[in-house]
Amino acid sequence: MKRRQILLGAGAATVLQGAWNEAMAQGKEVVIGALYPMSGPSAQVGIDARQAFETALEVINNVSPLDLPTAKNAGLARLGGAKVRVVYADHQADPQKGRAEAERLITQENVCAIVGCYHSSVSTTVSATCERYGVPFVCADSSSPTLSAQGLKFFFRTAAHDEMFSQAMFDFMDALKARGQKIGSVGLFYEDTIFGSDSAKVQRKLAAERGYRIACDIKYRNNSPSLTAEVQQIKNANPDVLMPSSYTTDTILLAKTMAELGYRPPNIVAQAAGFVEKPALDAVGDKLVGMISRASFSEDMGEKRPSAKAVNASFKARAGRDLNDQTSRQFSALMVLADAIDRAGTVEPGKIREALAATDIPGDKTIMPWARVKFDAHGQNTFASPVLIQWNKAKFVTVYPFEVATAKVVWPMNG
């Protein structure tokens, strides 16, 4: 970071400190910023994120019977029952737009923290901006491993990153091999932003370590108008397992192109993203039956976490759909952030940062399958245990780890 940027950030933080202190003194509501794509190809992600945050606010701002942080009080108890309000901003999947909107949220809306951003490329610029202003950034759902390797003090990620997710994928395949399944090769297929590139880098490394041959290694342009040549490459390579990392529009195009070319992979183990989004499943779900995705959450988690069923019902009443991998992480991120603000007893960002660093929430106090929420020195929750879920045309069911599975895995995916 350049010296001029550091000085500007320090000066801005000093000015903003007065605004935060005034808000605290007047007992105003606690304002948090949320940065998501609200327009463009990924707009549904932003719409769903808003519904997830509104579901969390219902728990935070009202007395709730759920066994979740802050649920027992109406508002934040240590701030005199102050209510939390979320201000939304649209980054349009553009990292520089994200940076500008983060600055606006901090300097004009006086937010005491920001949560976001789905696209890892946007979370990269937003986390750097928050660091410059000394404002906590809670990364809800961006999964690039490099985000927690930047040496930032104000960065916190509640959910797993792609290295942790990919580790679970290869553990799953190893476990199937131990049960007699023949899995010798994998095919890597990934979009060309930080999400896809980092995902492929990790999977390439794990394939080599675990003894899987890489049948194809294909990077394609995000929001590509055609994937015909790429799908033909995959078809010719014929990997035992296709491992795609794609956002929603690319997922739809991939599935349609595979069908047009008469190709159906023996198995798909996806890096979530577009493969768990409703627009993709509505459009091509019939072509992806048996597809497996890594996840932080599945609808059947209610059998393992009592609060999950009630939260899912509340979200579904708003959104008309069940919680998924993204929205469950968004809900959880805001709950963890609200708990930290409550424990800090102030809207001063530095104190909130200290409270986030001291977070230690048992897994059964969340809706997730995690062991707990506790951040390491890099701001990563290392206890965010992933699960693998399988699409059966009607819904996703948990199939791995086997000890928490609610259904037997169908392998190969076409039975």
Sketch the domain layout of the chain as residue ranges.
3-160+302-384, 163-295+388-404
Q: State how far the Cα of 14 lies from the Cα of 24, in Å rounded to an integer.
A: 16
Token couple for 167: 């580790």
Q: Is the peptide bond before 139 cis (omega within 30 degrees of 0)?
A: no
Kindly state which CATH superfamily the domain 163-295+388-404 is placed in.
Response regulator (3.40.50.2300)
Q: State how far the Cα of 371 lies from the Cα of 217, in Å rounded to an integer.
A: 34
Token couple for 408: 């037997």
DSSP secondary structure code for residue 285 in this structure: G
Strands (E), 176-288: 185-191, 213-220, 241-245, 269-270
Residue with tokens 């991120």: 333
How many other CB atoms are there within 10 angstroms of residue 37's CB atom? 26
Reduced to 3 states (helix: H, G, I; strand: E, B; else coil), residue 398 is strand
How many other CB atoms are there within 10 angstroms of residue 376's CB atom? 11
Kindly state which CATH superfamily the domain 3-160+302-384 is placed in.
Response regulator (3.40.50.2300)
Give Cα 201 to chain centroid, integer Å. Answer: 19
- Tell me how far apart the terminal alpha carbons of the chain are, to the nearest angstrom: 53
Give the pLDDT of residue 322.
Answer: 86
Nearest to 298 by CA among 274, 272, 280: 272
Mean pLDDT of each 10-residue bin along the chain, 415 residues long = 46 52 61 96 92 97 95 95 97 96 96 95 96 97 89 95 90 96 96 90 95 97 94 97 94 96 95 87 94 84 79 94 90 98 96 98 92 96 92 88 88 83
Within this chain, domains 3-160+302-384 and 163-295+388-404 share the same CATH topology: yes
Give Cα 226 to chain centroid, integer Å. Answer: 27
Give the pLDDT of residue 325.
Answer: 84
pTM over 0.75? The answer is yes
